[in-house]
Amino acid sequence: MNRLVVVGDPVEHSLSPLIHNAALDSMGLSDMYEYRKMRVERGGLEDFVAELRGGIIAGANVTIPHKVDVMAYMDRLTVQARTVGAVNTIYGEGGELVGDNTDCIGFLRSMEEEGIVLRGMKAMILGAGGGARAVLYALVDQGVREITLANRTPVTHTGIVDMMERHGKNLRLTDLDGAVEYLPEMDLVVNTTPVGMKGKHIRESVIPLDRVSSGTVVTDIVYIPVTTVFLKEAKNHGCRTVTGVGMLVHQGAAALERWTGRKVPLTVMRKTLMEYLDREGYDGK
Ligand code: NAP
């Protein structure tokens, strides 16, 4: 049996086992692979990586608080993991441990499946954490025309500053008040802060959307609840909205593709996730 794990602390809340095991079952691989939660405290990473190297664990998703620290233990980092400055997926390749970040491809595919063409857009990212940097990577990769990145506190992460410098004058840093000012001219606005998430100011929107144009695509990478207050407000202003569910499903599917080398049943993953969120009352509608 090949063991796949999501490693973090806390890890009890993770929905990854639910969607991965449903996919493995539907792929006919549940006799070969099982996916479990694995609580590893800070300071326990070395033993965990030894288990990966020894083949006891075949692949892993990485969550808080290990996404940055685990990078030091990898033989190789993908360009996405390096640029974002965080690893959320580990797989083996040619005897090496590879640290990857599938949030970038997850965001990109979630936009693609909605038929949203990012090229040429004027885009705004709210937040500057790991999720924001993954979205930023995806937007830069897709050739958006201009990016405004707005954060509560001044941005210091070198990955963002480097990416901005590489991208030149089409990238603008501002605070949340600045975001409100620039809002009317945006084609795309992405919330990557946890504001609106279950347990994190669930009744709030990170910025007021009164000035948003009705033609703007508004997306939230928070997925619990599915329809956040931010997205509800955007809908009220006539905007097209995209939830964070697509990104979650696609980042998971990209990881499972790397571990199994097989095409992954997205519809099964999405259906399993949506049924769970509905059952728990997290649809947010
Ligand atoms: P993170 O690295 O901790 O970054 C959090 C960001 O949000 C920071 O820029 C922080 O600003 C800002 N922020 C936090 N609280 C705020 C508040 N009260 N008001 C304004 N700004 C605030 O977190 P992350 O890993 O990027 O995750 C952020 C959210 O995205 C989480 O809800 C996570 O579940 C979700 N996510 C979803 C997916 C998906 O697949 N759908 C993938 C990744 C993440 P400061 O710099 O000022 O602290």
What pLDDT sits at residue 285? Answer: 61
Does the global pTM surpass 0.85?
yes
- Mark residue 279 as left, alpha or beta (left: phi above 0; alpha: psi -120 to 50; beta: remaining): alpha
Q: Does the structure show a pLDDT above 80 at 276?
A: yes
Q: Does the structure show a pLDDT above 80 at 113?
A: yes
**How much of the chain, in percent, has pLDDT values that exceed 90?**
89
More confident residue, 69 or 167: 69
What pLDDT sits at residue 169? Answer: 62
What pLDDT sits at residue 238? Answer: 98
Name which of 24-38, 165-179, 219-233 the model is least confident about. Answer: 165-179
Q: Does the structure show a pLDDT above 80 at 170?
A: no
Q: Does the structure show a pLDDT above 80 at 160?
A: no
SS3 string of the chain? CEEEEEEECCCCCCCHHHHHHHHHHHCCCCCCEEEEEEECCCCCHHHHHHHHHCCCCCEEEECCCCCCHHHHHCCEECHHHHHHCCCCEEEEECCEEEEECCHHHHHHHHHHCCCCCCCCCEEEEECCCHHHHHHHHHHHHCCCCEEEEECCCCCCCHHHHHHHHHHHHHEEEECHHHHHHHHHHCCEEEECCCCCECCECCCCCCCCCCCCCCCCEEEECCCCCCCCHHHHHHHHCCCEEECCHHHHHHHHHHHHHHHHCCCCCHHHHHHHHHHHHHHCCCCCC
What integer is the mean pLDDT of 98-123?
Answer: 97
Tens digits of residue pLDDT in 192-219: 999 999 987 899 999 999 999 999 999 9
Task: Kindly give the number of the ligand 1 atom that is closest to the alpha carbon of 67.
Answer: 25
What pLDDT sits at residue 164? Answer: 74
Mutate to test the pocket of ligand 1, among 87, 149, 152, 223 (most ligand atoms within 8 A of CB): 152
What integer is the mean pLDDT of 90-111?
Answer: 97
Which sign, positive or negative, has the C-alpha torsion 241, 23, 141, 69? positive
Confidence category of residue 165, pLDDT binned at 50, 70, 90: confident
Does the annotation count 263 as an active-site position? no
Query: How big is the CA angle at 72 (ends 67 and 73), to the nearest 5 degrees?
Result: 95
Q: Does the structure show a pLDDT above 90 at 270?
A: yes
The residues lining ligand 1, judged by C-beta closer than 6 Å to any ligand atom, are 103, 106, 127-132, 151-153, 192-195, 197, 201, 206, 221-223, 244, 247-248, 251
Confidence category of residue 163, pLDDT binned at 50, 70, 90: confident
